[in-house]
Structure 1
Amino acid sequence: MSTKKTNYSYIGIAFILLVFGIIFVPKIIDRVKGGDIVRDESRSKDVSSNAEGFVADLMFLEINGIPKKVPPFSLVNQNGETITNDDYEGKVYLVEFFFTTCGSICPRMNRNLVQIQNSFSEFQDFGIASFTINPEYDTQEVLKAYVENYGIINPNWHLMTGDKETIYDLANIGFNIYAGENPNADDGFEHSGNFALIDKNGFMRSRQDNFGNPKIFYKGIVSEEEKIDDDGEAEEISMLKEDIAKLLKEN
């Protein structure tokens, strides 16, 4: 008798599992497909607030295992206003280093930035930080004329000037974007044509390269229309716009 009861118990359990599978599993699958159930890896803790929230699939630039945050700065913009890193808190923004008398890469960089500005004109939480590496010439008045000439209209796009050594430290140490004086270079200065992408919490972000490391920067010289320039460099503006859109969706 005990053997038959055991067999009946197994049969009963198997029947219950079968019914569960037929009725409930398809519904669970539908909920996953419909987005009601989200996998854990698509959510993570915000590194600055430790609050649960959506985080885009963009990497953090880490130094000794610690996500790198924008260094403090305080400079004067084209309107004579003092602008600090706090003014960009809660905003996704791009960083560039340039100078107004640059006749080579700066005009191309800033035309691309204006195109990006226009693509995100509806977003009040998007901005751009442009730091001049020739502050002795690029006064507030010079920067204001540059703004008008290039059609810069985003209220969160500040062209900043100030102490030269402070700006160079900000470029080379703070953002790891090379900038410096060179009497042998065109116009007397050297700098990269790269843009840094900063999230709403002030962290440097980028997508990963083919080796799984952060790209760190985005090439800012080649336009979307060009696709590839004469030196064989491919444009990254379209990639950058995609990643800006991702960060704007972060909580």
Structure 2
Amino acid sequence: MNNKSKYSYIGIAFIILVFGIIFIPKIVDRIKHDDISRSERMSTEQDNNFSDQSKLAFIEINGEPKKVPSFSFENQNGEMITEKDYLGKVYVIEFFFTTCPTICPKMTYNLVQVQNAFKSFEEFGVASFTINPDHDTPEVLKSYAEEYGVTNPNWNLMTGNKEDIYNLANLGFNLFVDVENFEHSGNFALIDKNGYIRSRTDAYGNPIIYYRGTVSEKEQVNEEGEKEEISMLKEDIKKLLNE
């Protein structure tokens, strides 16, 4: 190696050493004090360019933001799951049953598409509550999950006391459920990391509250003229993950 090359390598090594001494402690200090913002961390993982730039509204009851009520149900793996297991996660809530021949397969298909869109995000989940707990045992729910491609570890399909499920749906979320006649809403609710129900607003500034779960992005509009809202749901999940 000639002297010129030797001095060049020494110069480069010196610059790298100076950079490490000056900048690395500052970067470490920023991480320790959480000065690197969530948006900086998230920007490398997902697209943050939203077609709708407004923040999501809180659903208010008597002037207070509506929070997910307490619940405790058994999931497809035989584990007891409560609302506390979802704290720190953005998640979607639905009510369904495995033998439903009409809207449930559509809802599950759409949620699997949402699941796949956020498969790299540990802070995303789904909470599915069966309205036919007499039939939908943990074993049945596990088989259903495998059949439809449920892979997210934060997607719990839950069963339990029929009256508790009824109250959770109708009183806790105002999502219509009739457990005796196996009737239910085809809508999804979106929950933020702190357990609050969130949604975007309509043209008049009112929260839309729920997201239509029965029309796929591919379908766009169903036979009844209802438009898909899955793309809207995906975008709003991104917003909450960024908060």
Tell me whether the two structures share a fold, i.e. TM-score over 0.5.
yes
Structure 2 counterpart of 1:109, which letter?
M
Return the match for 2:147 from 143, 146, 149.
149
Secondary structure in structure 1 of the residue aligned to 2:228: coil
Partner of 1:228: 221
Return the match for 2:71 from 70, 73, 89.
73
Secondary structure in structure 2 of the residue aligned to 1:108: helix
**Contiguous gaps of at least 5 residues in structure 1:** 1-55, 183-187
Structure 1 counterpart of 2:66, which letter?
K
Structure 2 counterpart of 1:192, which letter?
S
CA distance in 2, matches of 1:221, 1:161: 22
Structure 2 counterpart of 1:103, which letter?
P
Aligned partners of 2:162 and 2:179 also within 8 Å? no
Partner of 1:191: 184
Partner of 1:206: 199
Partner of 2:135: 137
Structure 2 counterpart of 1:153, which letter?
T
Structure 1 counterpart of 2:133, which letter?
P
Instruction: Please report the TM-score for the alignment, with normalisation by the length of structure 1.
Output: 0.75
Aligned partners of 2:138 and 2:159 also within 8 Å? yes
Runs of 4+ in structure 1 over 4 Å off: none
Q: How does 1:94-109 map to 2 (within 5 A)?
A: 94-109=92-107
Structure 2 counterpart of 1:77, which letter?
N
CA deviations over 1:30-67 (Å, ceiling 9, x no partner): xxxxxxxxxxxxxxxxxxxxxxxxxx700000001100
Structure 1 counterpart of 2:65, which letter?
P
Q: Report the CA distance between 1:209 and its aligned residue.
A: 1.1
Instruction: Please report the TM-score for the alignment, with normalisation by the length of structure 2.
Output: 0.77
Structure 2 counterpart of 1:96, which letter?
E
Q: Report the CA distance between 1:181 and its aligned residue.
A: 3.5
Partner of 1:85: 83
Structure 2 counterpart of 1:84, which letter?
T
CA deviations over 1:207-237 (Å, ceiling 9, x no partner): 0012211000000000000010000000000
CA deviations over 1:167-210 (Å, ceiling 9, x no partner): 0000001011000135xxxxx41101000000000000000012
Q: How does 1:1-251 map to 2 (within 5 A)?
A: 57-181=55-179, 188-250=181-243
CA distance in 2, matches of 1:81, 1:240: 28
Partner of 2:17: none
Secondary structure in structure 1 of the residue aligned to 2:183: strand
How many residue pairs are counted as aligned between the two chains?
A: 190
CA deviations over 1:112-138 (Å, ceiling 9, x no partner): 000000000000000000000000000
CA distance in 2, matches of 1:210, 1:219: 17
Q: CA RMSD in A?
A: 0.8
CA distance in 1, matches of 2:126, 2:174: 17
Aligned partners of 2:187 and 2:214 also within 8 Å? yes
Which one has a bigger Cα radius of gyration? 1
**Contiguous gaps of at least 5 residues in structure 2:** 1-53
